[in-house]
Structure 1
Amino acid sequence: MTPTTVLTIAGSDSGGGAGIQADLKVFAALGAYGTSVITAVTAQNTRGVDAVLPLPPRTVTEQLDSVLADFSVRAVKTGMLGTPAVADAVAEAAREGRLPQLVVDPVLVATSGHPLGVVEGVERLLPYALVATPNCAEAAALTGGPVTTVEEMVVAARTLAARGPGWVVVTGGDVAADGEAVDVLHGPGGTTLLRAPRVPTRHNHGTGCSFSAATAVRLALGDPVPAAVSAAKEYVTRALTGARDWELGAGRGPLDHFGWSA
Protein backbone atom coordinates (compact mmCIF):
# COMPACT_ATOMS: atom_id res chain seq x y z
CA MET A 1 0.00 0.00 0.00
CA THR A 2 1.28 3.46 -0.90
CA PRO A 3 2.13 5.42 2.26
CA THR A 4 0.45 8.69 3.14
CA THR A 5 2.63 11.74 2.50
CA VAL A 6 3.21 14.46 5.10
CA LEU A 7 5.29 17.64 4.72
CA THR A 8 7.38 19.48 7.29
CA ILE A 9 8.52 23.09 6.80
CA ALA A 10 11.16 23.79 9.43
CA GLY A 11 14.81 24.30 10.28
CA SER A 12 17.52 21.67 10.31
CA ASP A 13 18.91 20.52 13.68
CA SER A 14 22.46 19.19 13.36
CA GLY A 15 22.05 17.38 16.69
CA GLY A 16 19.09 15.45 15.29
CA GLY A 17 16.76 15.97 18.22
CA ALA A 18 14.39 18.61 16.87
CA GLY A 19 13.43 20.38 13.65
CA ILE A 20 13.42 18.61 10.30
CA GLN A 21 15.31 15.60 11.65
CA ALA A 22 12.84 14.97 14.47
CA ASP A 23 9.84 15.52 12.20
CA LEU A 24 11.03 12.97 9.65
CA LYS A 25 11.67 10.43 12.42
CA VAL A 26 8.14 10.91 13.73
CA PHE A 27 6.63 10.58 10.26
CA ALA A 28 8.49 7.31 9.69
CA ALA A 29 7.71 5.95 13.15
CA LEU A 30 3.99 6.53 12.61
CA GLY A 31 3.89 5.06 9.12
CA ALA A 32 3.89 8.16 6.91
CA TYR A 33 6.20 9.16 4.06
CA GLY A 34 7.99 12.37 5.00
CA THR A 35 8.86 15.26 2.71
CA SER A 36 10.59 18.45 3.82
CA VAL A 37 11.22 22.11 3.14
CA ILE A 38 14.21 23.47 5.06
CA THR A 39 13.92 27.09 6.21
CA ALA A 40 17.26 27.42 8.01
CA VAL A 41 20.40 25.49 8.83
CA THR A 42 21.42 25.47 12.47
CA ALA A 43 24.58 24.41 14.29
CA GLN A 44 23.27 22.89 17.52
CA ASN A 45 23.52 20.01 19.91
CA THR A 46 21.95 19.00 23.22
CA ARG A 47 23.59 21.95 24.99
CA GLY A 48 22.25 24.70 22.75
CA VAL A 49 22.29 26.53 19.43
CA ASP A 50 25.66 27.80 18.23
CA ALA A 51 24.66 29.35 14.91
CA VAL A 52 21.67 29.87 12.60
CA LEU A 53 21.75 30.44 8.85
CA PRO A 54 18.27 31.36 7.50
CA LEU A 55 17.69 30.36 3.89
CA PRO A 56 16.45 32.92 1.34
CA PRO A 57 12.65 33.00 0.92
CA ARG A 58 13.07 32.12 -2.75
CA THR A 59 14.91 28.91 -1.83
CA VAL A 60 12.14 28.00 0.60
CA THR A 61 9.49 28.65 -2.06
CA GLU A 62 11.39 26.60 -4.64
CA GLN A 63 11.56 23.62 -2.28
CA LEU A 64 7.87 23.97 -1.51
CA ASP A 65 6.90 24.21 -5.17
CA SER A 66 8.98 21.16 -6.00
CA VAL A 67 7.42 18.98 -3.31
CA LEU A 68 3.84 20.06 -3.96
CA ALA A 69 4.21 19.61 -7.73
CA ASP A 70 5.02 15.93 -7.34
CA PHE A 71 3.56 14.57 -4.10
CA SER A 72 -0.01 14.32 -2.87
CA VAL A 73 0.60 15.87 0.52
CA ARG A 74 -2.19 15.09 3.02
CA ALA A 75 -1.04 17.28 5.92
CA VAL A 76 1.62 19.91 6.59
CA LYS A 77 3.35 21.08 9.74
CA THR A 78 5.51 24.14 10.21
CA GLY A 79 8.23 24.65 12.78
CA MET A 80 11.05 27.16 12.80
CA LEU A 81 10.48 29.74 10.06
CA GLY A 82 13.34 32.01 11.07
CA THR A 83 12.53 35.29 9.35
CA PRO A 84 9.40 37.31 8.57
CA ALA A 85 10.15 36.99 4.84
CA VAL A 86 10.15 33.19 5.04
CA ALA A 87 6.96 33.29 7.09
CA ASP A 88 5.40 35.46 4.37
CA ALA A 89 6.37 32.91 1.71
CA VAL A 90 4.83 30.05 3.66
CA ALA A 91 1.73 32.09 4.52
CA GLU A 92 1.23 32.87 0.83
CA ALA A 93 1.17 29.15 0.04
CA ALA A 94 -1.31 28.61 2.85
CA ARG A 95 -3.47 31.48 1.62
CA GLU A 96 -3.57 29.83 -1.80
CA GLY A 97 -4.88 26.62 -0.21
CA ARG A 98 -1.75 24.62 -0.96
CA LEU A 99 -0.99 23.49 2.60
CA PRO A 100 -3.73 21.03 3.60
CA GLN A 101 -4.51 20.33 7.27
CA LEU A 102 -1.88 22.80 8.41
CA VAL A 103 -0.38 22.32 11.88
CA VAL A 104 1.51 25.40 13.05
CA ASP A 105 4.13 24.84 15.75
CA PRO A 106 5.15 28.43 16.57
CA VAL A 107 8.85 27.88 17.23
CA LEU A 108 10.18 31.17 18.59
CA VAL A 109 13.02 30.41 21.02
CA ALA A 110 15.25 27.38 21.49
CA THR A 111 15.45 25.67 24.86
CA SER A 112 18.82 27.40 25.32
CA GLY A 113 17.21 30.80 24.79
CA HIS A 114 18.49 31.36 21.24
CA PRO A 115 15.85 33.15 19.10
CA LEU A 116 14.57 31.02 16.21
CA GLY A 117 11.62 33.05 14.96
CA VAL A 118 9.55 36.19 15.38
CA VAL A 119 6.03 36.61 16.70
CA GLU A 120 4.92 38.54 13.62
CA GLY A 121 5.87 35.66 11.37
CA VAL A 122 3.88 33.13 13.35
CA GLU A 123 0.86 35.44 13.49
CA ARG A 124 0.76 35.53 9.70
CA LEU A 125 0.21 31.77 9.62
CA LEU A 126 -2.33 31.43 12.42
CA PRO A 127 -5.41 32.29 10.30
CA TYR A 128 -4.64 29.35 8.01
CA ALA A 129 -3.89 26.76 10.70
CA LEU A 130 -6.18 23.85 11.35
CA VAL A 131 -4.22 23.32 14.58
CA ALA A 132 -1.73 25.57 16.39
CA THR A 133 0.49 23.93 19.04
CA PRO A 134 2.33 26.55 21.15
CA ASN A 135 4.02 25.65 24.40
CA CYS A 136 3.49 27.93 27.38
CA ALA A 137 6.39 30.25 26.57
CA GLU A 138 5.27 30.58 22.95
CA ALA A 139 1.66 31.15 23.99
CA ALA A 140 2.82 33.90 26.35
CA ALA A 141 4.84 35.56 23.60
CA LEU A 142 1.90 35.43 21.20
CA THR A 143 -0.73 36.66 23.66
CA GLY A 144 1.34 39.05 25.76
CA GLY A 145 0.06 37.54 29.00
CA PRO A 146 1.48 35.11 31.56
CA VAL A 147 1.04 31.39 30.89
CA THR A 148 2.33 29.62 33.97
CA THR A 149 -0.74 27.75 35.23
CA VAL A 150 -3.37 25.51 33.70
CA GLU A 151 -5.91 28.30 34.11
CA GLU A 152 -3.69 30.70 32.18
CA MET A 153 -3.17 28.05 29.51
CA VAL A 154 -6.94 27.91 29.02
CA VAL A 155 -7.12 31.69 28.63
CA ALA A 156 -4.22 31.67 26.15
CA ALA A 157 -5.76 28.86 24.07
CA ARG A 158 -9.05 30.75 23.78
CA THR A 159 -7.27 34.01 22.93
CA LEU A 160 -5.22 32.39 20.17
CA ALA A 161 -8.22 30.52 18.77
CA ALA A 162 -9.91 33.88 18.22
CA ARG A 163 -7.10 34.77 15.79
CA GLY A 164 -8.08 32.14 13.27
CA PRO A 165 -6.84 28.61 13.98
CA GLY A 166 -9.54 25.97 14.00
CA TRP A 167 -8.01 24.42 17.12
CA VAL A 168 -5.30 25.45 19.59
CA VAL A 169 -3.30 23.14 21.84
CA VAL A 170 -1.23 24.84 24.54
CA THR A 171 1.24 22.21 25.67
CA GLY A 172 2.10 22.35 29.35
CA GLY A 173 5.08 20.11 29.88
CA ASP A 174 6.78 22.83 31.92
CA VAL A 175 3.77 23.63 34.13
CA ALA A 176 3.63 22.02 37.56
CA ALA A 177 0.32 20.15 37.84
CA ASP A 178 0.49 17.48 40.55
CA GLY A 179 2.84 15.17 38.70
CA GLU A 180 0.93 15.38 35.45
CA ALA A 181 1.73 16.87 32.05
CA VAL A 182 -1.42 18.78 31.14
CA ASP A 183 -2.17 20.13 27.66
CA VAL A 184 -5.12 22.40 26.90
CA LEU A 185 -7.09 21.77 23.69
CA HIS A 186 -9.55 24.43 22.59
CA GLY A 187 -11.77 24.24 19.52
CA PRO A 188 -15.34 24.50 18.28
CA GLY A 189 -16.56 22.06 20.92
CA GLY A 190 -15.01 23.95 23.83
CA THR A 191 -11.97 23.31 26.00
CA THR A 192 -10.54 19.93 27.02
CA LEU A 193 -7.65 19.10 29.34
CA LEU A 194 -5.39 16.28 28.16
CA ARG A 195 -3.51 14.59 30.99
CA ALA A 196 -0.59 12.17 31.12
CA PRO A 197 1.96 11.25 33.78
CA ARG A 198 4.91 13.63 33.80
CA VAL A 199 8.10 11.83 32.70
CA PRO A 200 11.16 12.95 34.70
CA THR A 201 14.01 13.05 32.19
CA ARG A 202 16.58 15.38 30.70
CA HIS A 203 15.84 13.82 27.31
CA ASN A 204 13.10 16.21 26.25
CA HIS A 205 14.68 18.12 23.37
CA GLY A 206 12.27 18.27 20.44
CA THR A 207 9.05 17.48 22.30
CA GLY A 208 7.17 20.32 20.59
CA CYS A 209 8.39 19.35 17.14
CA SER A 210 7.53 15.72 17.77
CA PHE A 211 4.06 16.52 19.11
CA SER A 212 3.12 18.70 16.15
CA ALA A 213 4.60 16.19 13.68
CA ALA A 214 2.63 13.34 15.24
CA THR A 215 -0.53 15.44 15.11
CA ALA A 216 0.04 16.08 11.40
CA VAL A 217 0.50 12.37 10.68
CA ARG A 218 -2.69 11.40 12.47
CA LEU A 219 -4.61 14.11 10.60
CA ALA A 220 -3.17 12.83 7.32
CA LEU A 221 -4.35 9.32 8.21
CA GLY A 222 -7.89 10.58 8.74
CA ASP A 223 -8.22 11.27 12.46
CA PRO A 224 -10.41 14.18 13.58
CA VAL A 225 -8.46 16.85 15.45
CA PRO A 226 -9.23 15.75 19.03
CA ALA A 227 -8.23 12.15 18.26
CA ALA A 228 -5.09 13.27 16.40
CA VAL A 229 -3.97 15.46 19.29
CA SER A 230 -4.66 12.74 21.84
CA ALA A 231 -2.68 10.20 19.82
CA ALA A 232 0.20 12.67 19.48
CA LYS A 233 0.31 13.18 23.24
CA GLU A 234 0.41 9.43 23.83
CA TYR A 235 3.23 9.08 21.28
CA VAL A 236 5.34 11.82 22.88
CA THR A 237 4.79 10.36 26.35
CA ARG A 238 6.07 6.99 25.11
CA ALA A 239 9.04 8.65 23.41
CA LEU A 240 9.96 10.54 26.59
CA THR A 241 9.65 7.38 28.65
CA GLY A 242 11.82 5.39 26.27
CA ALA A 243 14.64 7.96 26.36
CA ARG A 244 14.39 8.62 30.09
CA ASP A 245 17.66 6.87 31.00
CA TRP A 246 19.60 7.50 27.82
CA GLU A 247 23.03 9.15 27.86
CA LEU A 248 23.10 11.04 24.58
CA GLY A 249 24.90 14.37 24.80
CA ALA A 250 25.61 16.48 27.86
CA GLY A 251 22.47 18.62 27.78
CA ARG A 252 18.81 18.11 26.97
CA GLY A 253 18.85 14.96 24.88
CA PRO A 254 16.51 13.65 22.15
CA LEU A 255 13.42 11.46 22.43
CA ASP A 256 13.10 7.76 21.69
CA HIS A 257 11.16 8.32 18.46
CA PHE A 258 11.23 4.69 17.32
CA GLY A 259 10.53 2.96 20.62
CA TRP A 260 14.00 1.44 20.83
CA SER A 261 13.79 1.28 24.62
CA ALA A 262 10.20 0.10 24.86
Structure 2
Amino acid sequence: MKKIYHILSIAGTDPVGGAGIQSDLKTFSALGAYGITIVTSLVAQNTRGVQLVYPISADFVAMQMESVFSDVRIDSAKIGMVGQASIIHVIAEKLKKYTVPWLILDTVMVSKSGDLLLDKNAVSSLRNLLLPLASVITPNLPEAAILLGCTPAINENQMRQQGRSLLKLGCQVVIMKGGHLASNSSPDWLISSDYELRLESMRISTQHTHGTGCTLSAALAALRPRYNNWQQTLQAAKAWLQQALLHADDLNIGKGIGPVHHFYDKW
Protein backbone atom coordinates (compact mmCIF):
# COMPACT_ATOMS: atom_id res chain seq x y z
CA MET A 1 0.00 0.00 0.00
CA LYS A 2 1.25 3.47 -0.89
CA LYS A 3 2.28 5.51 2.14
CA ILE A 4 0.23 8.64 2.68
CA TYR A 5 2.33 11.41 4.21
CA HIS A 6 0.85 13.64 6.90
CA ILE A 7 1.81 17.28 6.32
CA LEU A 8 1.14 20.03 8.85
CA SER A 9 0.52 23.71 8.13
CA ILE A 10 0.80 26.27 10.92
CA ALA A 11 -0.52 29.50 9.44
CA GLY A 12 -3.29 32.07 9.11
CA THR A 13 -6.41 31.88 6.98
CA ASP A 14 -7.49 33.27 3.61
CA PRO A 15 -11.26 33.30 2.90
CA VAL A 16 -10.76 33.32 -0.88
CA GLY A 17 -8.46 30.31 -0.68
CA GLY A 18 -5.42 31.68 -2.49
CA ALA A 19 -3.00 31.82 0.43
CA GLY A 20 -2.59 30.63 4.00
CA ILE A 21 -4.19 27.50 5.45
CA GLN A 22 -6.68 27.09 2.62
CA SER A 23 -3.98 27.29 -0.05
CA ASP A 24 -1.77 24.89 1.90
CA LEU A 25 -4.52 22.29 2.10
CA LYS A 26 -5.06 22.58 -1.66
CA THR A 27 -1.34 22.16 -2.27
CA PHE A 28 -1.07 19.12 -0.02
CA SER A 29 -4.07 17.51 -1.71
CA ALA A 30 -2.86 18.31 -5.23
CA LEU A 31 0.46 16.65 -4.41
CA GLY A 32 -1.08 13.55 -2.87
CA ALA A 33 -0.52 14.28 0.83
CA TYR A 34 -2.90 14.46 3.79
CA GLY A 35 -3.15 17.99 5.19
CA ILE A 36 -3.36 18.88 8.88
CA THR A 37 -3.66 22.45 10.16
CA ILE A 38 -3.05 24.68 13.15
CA VAL A 39 -4.55 28.16 12.77
CA THR A 40 -2.59 31.14 14.11
CA SER A 41 -4.75 34.04 12.89
CA LEU A 42 -8.12 34.65 11.29
CA VAL A 43 -7.60 36.98 8.35
CA ALA A 44 -10.29 38.92 6.51
CA GLN A 45 -8.73 39.27 3.08
CA ASN A 46 -9.48 38.89 -0.60
CA THR A 47 -7.67 39.31 -3.91
CA ARG A 48 -7.50 43.08 -3.36
CA GLY A 49 -5.89 43.13 0.07
CA VAL A 50 -6.14 42.43 3.78
CA GLN A 51 -9.05 44.07 5.57
CA LEU A 52 -8.53 42.81 9.14
CA VAL A 53 -6.38 40.39 11.10
CA TYR A 54 -7.99 38.76 14.15
CA PRO A 55 -5.23 37.10 16.20
CA ILE A 56 -5.92 33.86 18.05
CA SER A 57 -4.60 33.59 21.61
CA ALA A 58 -1.24 31.93 22.07
CA ASP A 59 -2.83 29.52 24.57
CA PHE A 60 -5.27 28.30 21.95
CA VAL A 61 -2.48 27.83 19.41
CA ALA A 62 -0.63 25.78 22.03
CA MET A 63 -3.74 23.66 22.62
CA GLN A 64 -4.12 23.01 18.89
CA MET A 65 -0.51 21.86 18.74
CA GLU A 66 -1.01 19.51 21.68
CA SER A 67 -4.15 18.13 20.04
CA VAL A 68 -2.33 17.39 16.79
CA PHE A 69 1.01 16.11 18.04
CA SER A 70 -0.45 13.91 20.78
CA ASP A 71 -2.56 12.05 18.23
CA VAL A 72 -1.16 12.20 14.68
CA ARG A 73 2.18 11.31 13.09
CA ILE A 74 3.62 14.39 11.36
CA ASP A 75 5.97 13.64 8.46
CA SER A 76 6.73 17.25 7.53
CA ALA A 77 5.53 20.72 8.49
CA LYS A 78 5.50 24.29 7.28
CA ILE A 79 5.08 27.48 9.24
CA GLY A 80 3.52 30.45 7.49
CA MET A 81 1.89 33.51 9.03
CA VAL A 82 2.48 33.58 12.79
CA GLY A 83 1.39 37.17 13.43
CA GLN A 84 2.76 37.96 16.85
CA ALA A 85 5.59 37.19 19.25
CA SER A 86 3.50 35.30 21.81
CA ILE A 87 2.44 32.79 19.16
CA ILE A 88 6.03 32.38 17.99
CA HIS A 89 7.04 31.53 21.56
CA VAL A 90 4.47 28.74 21.95
CA ILE A 91 5.21 27.30 18.50
CA ALA A 92 8.92 27.15 19.32
CA GLU A 93 8.19 25.58 22.70
CA LYS A 94 6.02 22.82 21.23
CA LEU A 95 8.40 22.11 18.35
CA LYS A 96 11.17 21.48 20.86
CA LYS A 97 8.88 19.03 22.65
CA TYR A 98 7.70 17.15 19.55
CA THR A 99 9.88 15.93 16.68
CA VAL A 100 9.18 17.03 13.10
CA PRO A 101 11.50 15.40 10.52
CA TRP A 102 11.45 18.44 8.21
CA LEU A 103 10.33 21.95 9.08
CA ILE A 104 9.88 24.60 6.39
CA LEU A 105 9.66 28.18 7.63
CA ASP A 106 8.02 30.61 5.21
CA THR A 107 9.03 33.95 6.72
CA VAL A 108 5.70 35.66 6.00
CA MET A 109 5.79 39.35 6.88
CA VAL A 110 3.91 41.27 4.18
CA SER A 111 1.06 40.20 1.90
CA LYS A 112 1.18 40.47 -1.91
CA SER A 113 -0.95 43.61 -1.57
CA GLY A 114 1.56 45.18 0.82
CA ASP A 115 -0.34 44.62 4.09
CA LEU A 116 1.68 43.84 7.22
CA LEU A 117 1.20 40.25 8.43
CA LEU A 118 3.78 40.15 11.22
CA ASP A 119 3.99 42.57 14.14
CA LYS A 120 7.19 44.61 13.91
CA ASN A 121 8.12 43.64 17.47
CA ALA A 122 7.82 39.96 16.53
CA VAL A 123 10.63 39.96 13.94
CA SER A 124 13.32 39.33 16.54
CA SER A 125 11.30 36.43 17.98
CA LEU A 126 10.96 34.91 14.52
CA ARG A 127 14.67 35.32 13.92
CA ASN A 128 15.85 34.05 17.31
CA LEU A 129 13.31 31.32 18.09
CA LEU A 130 12.04 29.81 14.83
CA LEU A 131 14.96 30.15 12.42
CA PRO A 132 17.23 27.88 14.50
CA LEU A 133 14.53 25.16 14.43
CA ALA A 134 13.98 25.30 10.66
CA SER A 135 15.24 22.72 8.20
CA VAL A 136 14.82 25.33 5.48
CA ILE A 137 13.61 28.93 5.28
CA THR A 138 12.13 30.52 2.14
CA PRO A 139 12.46 34.32 2.32
CA ASN A 140 11.84 36.64 -0.57
CA LEU A 141 14.28 39.52 -0.90
CA PRO A 142 12.41 42.07 1.28
CA GLU A 143 11.91 39.44 4.02
CA ALA A 144 15.58 38.48 3.97
CA ALA A 145 16.52 42.14 4.34
CA ILE A 146 14.21 42.60 7.33
CA LEU A 147 15.65 39.52 9.04
CA LEU A 148 19.19 40.78 8.49
CA GLY A 149 18.52 44.48 9.13
CA CYS A 150 19.85 45.56 5.74
CA THR A 151 18.62 46.74 2.35
CA PRO A 152 17.10 44.19 -0.07
CA ALA A 153 19.41 42.47 -2.53
CA ILE A 154 19.34 43.89 -6.05
CA ASN A 155 21.41 41.20 -7.78
CA GLU A 156 22.21 37.52 -7.41
CA ASN A 157 25.58 38.09 -5.79
CA GLN A 158 23.89 40.00 -2.98
CA MET A 159 21.23 37.28 -2.77
CA ARG A 160 23.93 34.68 -2.16
CA GLN A 161 25.68 36.84 0.42
CA GLN A 162 22.46 37.41 2.34
CA GLY A 163 21.59 33.73 2.13
CA ARG A 164 24.91 32.84 3.74
CA SER A 165 24.28 35.43 6.45
CA LEU A 166 20.88 33.89 7.17
CA LEU A 167 22.51 30.47 7.58
CA LYS A 168 24.49 31.90 10.47
CA LEU A 169 21.21 32.50 12.33
CA GLY A 170 20.86 28.75 12.77
CA CYS A 171 18.70 27.29 9.98
CA GLN A 172 20.06 24.37 7.97
CA VAL A 173 19.18 25.54 4.44
CA VAL A 174 18.10 28.85 2.89
CA ILE A 175 16.08 29.21 -0.30
CA MET A 176 16.49 32.81 -1.44
CA LYS A 177 13.59 33.59 -3.78
CA GLY A 178 14.48 36.00 -6.57
CA GLY A 179 11.04 37.02 -7.75
CA HIS A 180 11.66 40.65 -6.74
CA LEU A 181 14.73 41.01 -8.97
CA ALA A 182 14.36 43.19 -12.06
CA SER A 183 15.02 40.45 -14.61
CA ASN A 184 13.22 38.38 -17.23
CA SER A 185 13.69 35.21 -15.20
CA SER A 186 13.07 34.37 -11.56
CA PRO A 187 16.22 32.83 -10.10
CA ASP A 188 16.24 31.12 -6.71
CA TRP A 189 19.33 30.15 -4.75
CA LEU A 190 19.43 27.03 -2.58
CA ILE A 191 22.16 27.64 -0.03
CA SER A 192 23.57 25.39 2.68
CA SER A 193 26.90 25.15 4.46
CA ASP A 194 28.01 22.61 1.84
CA TYR A 195 26.75 24.00 -1.47
CA GLU A 196 25.05 26.80 -3.39
CA LEU A 197 22.69 25.89 -6.21
CA ARG A 198 20.93 28.18 -8.67
CA LEU A 199 17.49 27.25 -10.02
CA GLU A 200 15.88 29.46 -12.63
CA SER A 201 12.28 29.76 -13.80
CA MET A 202 10.89 31.93 -16.57
CA ARG A 203 8.48 34.61 -15.43
CA ILE A 204 4.85 33.87 -16.26
CA SER A 205 2.83 36.68 -17.80
CA THR A 206 -0.04 36.75 -15.30
CA GLN A 207 -1.15 39.06 -12.53
CA HIS A 208 -2.61 36.12 -10.63
CA THR A 209 0.19 35.32 -8.19
CA HIS A 210 -1.69 35.54 -4.90
CA GLY A 211 -0.27 33.01 -2.46
CA THR A 212 2.73 31.86 -4.47
CA GLY A 213 5.01 32.00 -1.42
CA CYS A 214 2.57 29.99 0.70
CA THR A 215 2.12 27.52 -2.13
CA LEU A 216 5.84 26.98 -2.68
CA SER A 217 6.58 26.35 1.00
CA ALA A 218 3.58 24.01 1.24
CA ALA A 219 4.79 22.12 -1.83
CA LEU A 220 8.24 21.76 -0.25
CA ALA A 221 6.64 20.32 2.87
CA ALA A 222 4.44 17.92 0.89
CA LEU A 223 7.26 16.69 -1.34
CA ARG A 224 10.26 16.51 1.01
CA PRO A 225 9.38 13.09 2.49
CA ARG A 226 9.47 11.61 -1.04
CA TYR A 227 12.90 12.88 -2.08
CA ASN A 228 16.46 12.35 -0.92
CA ASN A 229 17.48 15.99 -0.58
CA TRP A 230 16.36 19.60 -0.81
CA GLN A 231 17.67 20.02 -4.36
CA GLN A 232 15.33 17.36 -5.74
CA THR A 233 12.48 18.62 -3.57
CA LEU A 234 12.85 22.23 -4.72
CA GLN A 235 13.11 21.23 -8.37
CA ALA A 236 9.88 19.22 -8.13
CA ALA A 237 8.08 21.95 -6.17
CA LYS A 238 9.10 24.68 -8.62
CA ALA A 239 8.10 22.59 -11.64
CA TRP A 240 4.63 22.01 -10.16
CA LEU A 241 4.22 25.67 -9.13
CA GLN A 242 5.28 26.82 -12.60
CA GLN A 243 2.37 24.90 -14.09
CA ALA A 244 -0.02 26.24 -11.44
CA LEU A 245 1.05 29.76 -12.45
CA LEU A 246 0.75 28.99 -16.16
CA HIS A 247 -2.88 27.99 -15.60
CA ALA A 248 -3.74 30.77 -13.13
CA ASP A 249 -5.61 32.72 -15.80
CA ASP A 250 -7.99 29.76 -16.22
CA LEU A 251 -9.51 30.73 -12.89
CA ASN A 252 -11.66 33.79 -12.42
CA ILE A 253 -11.40 34.51 -8.70
CA GLY A 254 -11.92 38.05 -7.43
CA LYS A 255 -11.21 41.48 -8.87
CA GLY A 256 -7.56 41.83 -7.88
CA ILE A 257 -4.53 39.53 -7.71
CA GLY A 258 -6.05 36.07 -8.07
CA PRO A 259 -4.66 32.72 -6.90
CA VAL A 260 -2.64 30.14 -8.80
CA HIS A 261 -4.42 27.04 -10.09
CA HIS A 262 -3.53 24.29 -7.61
CA PHE A 263 -5.59 21.67 -9.46
CA TYR A 264 -4.56 22.56 -13.02
CA ASP A 265 -3.96 18.90 -13.91
CA LYS A 266 -7.12 17.57 -12.26
CA TRP A 267 -9.94 19.88 -13.39
What TM-score does the superposition give when structure 2 sets the normalisation length? Answer: 0.93
Query: Does 1:35 pair with 2:73?
Result: no
Number of aligned residue pairs: 261
Question: Is 2:148 the counterpart of 1:143?
Answer: yes
Amino acid paired to 1:14 = P
Question: How far apart are 1:241 and its partner, in Å?
Answer: 0.5
Structure 2 unaligned runs (5+)? none
Task: Give structure 1 stretches of 5+ with no counterpart.
Answer: none
Counterpart among 249, 255, 261 of residue 256 in structure 1: 261
Counterpart Cα distance in 1 of 2:212 and 2:125: 21
Decide which moves more: 213-222 or 44-53.
213-222
Amino acid at match of 2:244: A
Aligned residue runs from structure 1 range 30-179, under 5 A = 30-117=31-118, 118-123=122-127, 124-145=129-150, 146-177=152-183, 179=184
Cα shift at 1:100: 2.8
C-alpha separation between the residues in 1 aligned to 2:43 and 2:156?
33
Contact 1:39–1:80, Cα closer than 8 Å, also in 2? yes
SS at match of 2:26: helix
Match for residue 201 of structure 1?
206
Poorly superposed stretches of 4+, deviation over 6 Å = none
Provide the rounded CA distance (Å) in 1 between the counterparts of 2:10 and 2:134: 14
Shift of 1:225: 1.3
1:180 alignment counterpart: 185
How far 1:174 sits from its partner (Å)?
2.2
Match of 2:221, SS? Answer: helix
Moved more, 215-224 or 29-38: 215-224
CA distance in structure 1 between the aligned counterparts of 2:154 and 2:50, rounded to whole angstroms: 25
Normalized against structure 1, the TM-score is what?
0.95
Tell me the distance in 1 between the aligned counterparts of 2:191 and 2:98. Answer: 23
Query: Cα gap change, 1:106/1:60 in structure 2, threshold over 3 Å: closer, same or farther?
Result: same
Change (3 A) 1:56 1:70: same
Q: 1:214 corresponds to which residue?
A: 219
2:69/2:98 contact within 8 Å kept = no
Contact 1:201 1:245 in 2 (8 A): no
Deviates more, 1:166-175 or 1:76-85: 166-175
Out of 234-243 and 44-53, give the one that drifted further.
Answer: 234-243
Rounded Cα–Cα distance in structure 1 between residues aligned with 2:220 and 2:114:
25
Map 1:203-242; keep pairs closer than 5 Å: 203-242=208-247
State the alpha-carbon separation in 2 of the partners of residues 243 and 231 from structure 1: 19
